[in-house]
């Protein structure tokens, strides 16, 4: 009865395959559940002395890029997110998003020790460079970080601190974004290797002028936008920055300025680092950012890696 025997063998093979597929499905489901339990999609806090809130991405599959976003003088991590609204886009793009807080100065204002020009006005010795790099290790202990895609960005005093991070820890950081910020013209301890830099500034910024100035009579002079571009162009081997290269594009990033108010300029660099300048024509120190802001920021960041 060869026909009957063949049918029985087919049924047996089918049953075995069903069992195998069922076991595989169980294994995959178990792995997904274990991953979800190990890396839950809930915010958490690192560093009990100086709490920093960490927002993991919605889908976590292994070492992920990390963005540490630094607030301005007198603000906070939560204030930074309230202004820039980056959390949702970070999650969508698979980026670990971190919002730390500066320490209080002699006047009780939160600040980053980025230097004397802005905004260490009381001679604090706090080591914010060490603190911020330490945060990466603390996050990594819970959610493994992609060490080739470590990013910093900051607004105002946070922008000054971001430039300091680029100066002192460029070997570990892939890219930085400075928004309405600068750095001491003297640039103490600034010996960077090539690193991707995006400088964003409003042409009508009356607080951190694009031409450089002093914030107080006893503070250092901060560098102009032109000076910063020239410095990082030398570091990244991008050639002349004056005049600016031909405008790459126009972006609409600010809700209360008509049209595409932001002109972008991309420099041609011989290293793999990128140098860009986004000029917000008519933009103030704290322009009203629209919903295009966050996607454009992550477009730049995620194209950069060590």
- What does pLDDT average to over the chain? 90
Residue 172, CB-side half-sphere exposure with 13 Å CA sphere = 14
Domain hosting residue 107, numbered range: 42-301
pLDDT at residue 13, rounded to an integer: 53
pLDDT at residue 145, rounded to an integer: 97
Mean pLDDT of 169-193: 97
| pLDDT(2) > 60 | no
What is the tens place of the pLDDT at every residue in 60-99? Answer: 888 999 999 999 999 999 999 999 999 999 999 999 999 9
What is the tens place of the pLDDT at every residue in 139-152? Answer: 999 999 999 999 99
**92 and 225 belong to one structural domain:** yes
Q: Would you say residue 30 lies in a domain?
A: yes
Mean pLDDT of 125-130: 97
**132 and 224 belong to one structural domain:** yes
**8 and 114 belong to one structural domain:** no
Q: Which two tokens stand for residue 254?
A: 């600010």
Mean pLDDT of 27-48: 62
Q: What is the CATH number of the domain that holds 195?
A: 3.40.50.1820
The distance in angstroms from the start CA to the end CA of the chain is: 68
What is the tens place of the pLDDT at every residue in 191-237? Answer: 999 999 999 999 999 999 999 999 999 999 999 999 999 999 999 99
pLDDT at residue 162, rounded to an integer: 98
pLDDT at residue 32, rounded to an integer: 40
Q: Would you say residue 65 lies in a domain?
A: yes
- Of 209, 231, 223, the closest CA to residue 275 belongs to 231
Mean pLDDT of 102-114: 97
Q: Among all chains, which residue has been given the structure tokens 């972008």? A: 264
For residues 2 and 206, the model is more confident at: 206
What is the tens place of the pLDDT at every residue in 246-264? Answer: 999 999 999 999 999 999 9
Q: Would you say residue 8 lies in a domain?
A: yes
**79 and 46 belong to one structural domain:** yes
**104 and 243 belong to one structural domain:** yes
**28 and 147 belong to one structural domain:** no
Q: Among all chains, which residue has been given the structure tokens 């911020």? A: 132
**94 and 227 belong to one structural domain:** yes
pLDDT band at 47 (very low <50, low <70, confident <90, very high): confident
Cα–Cα distance, 4 to 283 (Å, whole number): 83
**262 and 137 belong to one structural domain:** yes
Q: Would you say residue 306 lies in a domain?
A: no
- The answer to whether the CB of 71 falls within 8 A of the CB of 61 is no
- The answer to whether the CB of 95 falls within 8 A of the CB of 61 is no
**9 and 82 belong to one structural domain:** no
**98 and 137 belong to one structural domain:** yes
Cα–Cα distance, 176 to 159 (Å, whole number): 9
| pLDDT(130) > 60 | yes
**126 and 232 belong to one structural domain:** yes
pLDDT band at 40 (very low <50, low <70, confident <90, very high): low
- How many domains, in total, are found in the chain? 2
pLDDT band at 25 (very low <50, low <70, confident <90, very high): very low
**268 and 173 belong to one structural domain:** yes
What predicted TM-score, i.e. pTM, was given to this entire model?
0.88
């Amino acid at each position: 009865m060869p026909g009957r025997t063949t049918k029985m063998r087919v049924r047996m093979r089918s049953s075995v395959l069903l069992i195998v597929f069922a076991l595989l499905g169980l294994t995959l489901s178990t792995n997904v559940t274990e991953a979800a339990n190990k890396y839950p999609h809930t915010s958490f806090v690192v560093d009990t002395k100086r709490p920093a809130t960490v927002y993991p991405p919605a889908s976590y599959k292994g070492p992920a890029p990390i963005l540490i976003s630094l607030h301005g003088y007198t603000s906070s991590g939560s204030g930074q997110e309230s202004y820039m609204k980056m959390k949702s886009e970070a999650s969508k793009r698979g980026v670990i998003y971190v919002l730390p807080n500066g320490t209080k100065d002699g006047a009780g204002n939160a600040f980053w020790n980025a230097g004397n020009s802005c905004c260490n006005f009381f001679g604090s010795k706090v080591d914010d460079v060490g603190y911020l790099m330490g945060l990466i290790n603390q996050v990594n202990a819970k959610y493994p970080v992609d060490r080739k895609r470590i990013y910093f960005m900051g607004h105002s005093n946070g922008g000054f601190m971001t430039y300091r991070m680029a100066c002192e820890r460029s070997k570990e950081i892939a890219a930085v974004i400075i928004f309405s910020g600068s750095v001491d013209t003297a640039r103490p301890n600034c010996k960077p290797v090539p690193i991707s830099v995006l400088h964003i500034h409003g042409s009508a910024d009356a607080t951190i002028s694009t031409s450089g100035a002093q914030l107080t009579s006893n503070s250092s002079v901060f560098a102009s936008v032109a000076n910063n571009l020239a410095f990082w162009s030398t570091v990244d081997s991008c050639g002349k920055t004056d005049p600016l290269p031909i405008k790459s594009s126009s972006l609409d990033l600010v809700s209360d300025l008509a049209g595409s108010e932001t002109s972008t300029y991309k420099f041609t660099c011989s290293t793999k680092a990128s140098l860009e300048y986004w000029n917000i024509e008519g933009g103030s120190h704290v322009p009203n950012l629209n919903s295009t802001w966050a996607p454009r920021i992550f477009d730049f960041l995620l194209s950069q890696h060590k």
